[in-house]
Amino acid sequence: MTTGAQLLDIARCFQLEGTPMQVDNLGDGFINDTYIIRLSDSSVKYILQRKNTNIFKDIPGMMNNIQAITVHLKKKIAAAGGDPMREALTVVPAKDGRLFYEHEGEYWCVTVFIDNSVSYDKADTPLLAERGGRGIGRFQAMLSDFDQPLTDTLPGFHNIRFRYGQWDDTLARDPEHRAASVRGLIDEIESRRSEMLDFYRLIETGRIPLRVTHNDTKIANMLFDHDGNVLCVLDLDTVLKAPCLYDFGDSIRSYTNTGAEDDPNTDNVSMSRGMYDAFLRGYLSEAGSFLTDIERQYLPFSARYITYEQVLRFLMDYIDGDKYYKVKYPEHNLVRTRAQLKLLQSIERQLF
Ligand code: GN1
Ligand code: MG
């Protein structure tokens, strides 16, 4: 636990426009710890994050990525007559000029808080899903000519071959002796293995191209304006060279779910076809100009692929003893697994 006084000390290490007065918890991301910094002498607010070093092994590399990407986005936004301070994240350096502050092996980073915006855990109308699709399509389009090298912040992130390596190892170790109790769920993973590898081969062989993509496009990772348009894409930790299908697939996993990602009542969970069509429409309005035929062809499969991968990741973490995702109660990863499997089955029924 980091105390309020310690958080204030950390906030003071950054180049803020005033004096930090208070630091409070914000949101509940699964990976990093997020806080809001308020100043005593200015209305500007900041986001302070403790990056998760269990997961991200090269935070300086990650922050260099985020800096380069946001600078690129801001140029595009300004050229289009937008507001670069509100439509892209702004990284605030530490007083020593670095893009992070390191203290006792922990890495802290600050960005400017974007006020007067709306965030959602769930898409409540098809119009919002359409706007979300347009926002991610535009994000990818703005980065389509980004040509600087990017650090691979999370090697193997959506690589199902890599995930099977982790999976096989976790099942072999079974450190908490949980595997026997989830045999049916393990079978759900295994029964789809060869189809998932067939898809992944299209990426390995270069038939599906790599682009600069976000890789974690759930609705909670975008800010909307009061008219329901995407204002700013957040959480740039996993911007990588990857197929743009991963962004589409992860968005469908999030925007179309009629229940919660961790819904304890799986009756609530299904894919809304109306939300799917709306998101697709919005996405194609921006991405349609650069997608190749094979990318277009595999858009529906990407929803299946990413949702399947999420089932695998939640179940693997449960079997592993809950080491990756933050959990709120002992069986949380298992509840997440069941809810995401229900969503996967609904996607499979409706799109295939
Ligand atoms: C994590 O960072 P956050 O909370 O937006 C995870 C995603 C999962 C998501 C599930 C780096 O996202 O891959 O899809 O949880 N991020 C990482 O909600 O593993
Ligand atoms: Mg994240």
pLDDT (tens, 9 = 90+) of the chain, 352 residues, equals 789 999 999 999 999 999 999 999 997 788 999 999 999 999 999 999 999 999 999 999 999 999 999 999 999 999 999 999 999 999 999 999 999 999 999 999 999 999 999 999 999 999 999 999 999 999 999 999 999 999 999 999 999 999 999 999 999 999 999 999 999 999 999 999 999 999 999 999 999 999 999 999 999 999 999 999 999 999 999 999 999 999 999 999 999 999 999 999 999 999 999 999 999 999 999 999 999 999 999 999 999 999 999 999 999 999 999 999 999 999 999 999 999 999 999 999 999 9
Residue 27 near ligand 1, beta carbon < 6 Å: no
| Ligand number, closest to the Cα atom of 247 | 1
Tell how far the Cα of 52 is from the centroid of ligand 1, in angstroms: 12
Tell how far the Cα of 180 is from the centroid of ligand 2, in angstroms: 31
Residue 261 near ligand 1, beta carbon < 6 Å: yes
Considering only CA atoms, which residue is closest to atom 1 of ligand 1? 30
Residue 30 near ligand 1, beta carbon < 6 Å: yes
* Number of residues that make up the chain: 352
| Ligand number, closest to the Cα atom of 221 | 1
Measured between alpha carbons, how far is 126 from 21 in angstroms, rounded to an integer?
Answer: 41
Tell how far the Cα of 204 is from the centroid of ligand 1, in angstroms: 23
Checking DSSP bridges between strand 230-233 and strand 222-224, what pairing results, if any?
antiparallel
Tell how far the Cα of 255 is from the centroid of ligand 1, in angstroms: 15
Close Cβ partners of 77 (under 8 Å, ≥ 6 residues apart): 83, 84, 87, 88, 142
Measured between alpha carbons, how far is 266 from 20 in angstroms, rounded to an integer?
Answer: 44
pLDDT tens digits, residue range 106-151? 999 999 999 999 999 999 999 999 999 999 999 999 999 999 999 9
Considering only CA atoms, which residue is closest to atom 13 of ligand 1? 216
Q: Please state the three-class secondary structure of 29-81 as a single string.
A: CCCCEEEEEEECCCCCEEEEEEECCCCCCCHHHHHHHHHHHHHHHHHHHHHCC
Query: To test the ligand 1 pocket, which listed residue (28, 31, 49) has its Cβ within 8 A of the most ligand atoms?
Result: 31
- Domains, in order of start, for the chain: 4-112 (3.30.200.20), 126-351 (3.90.1200.10)
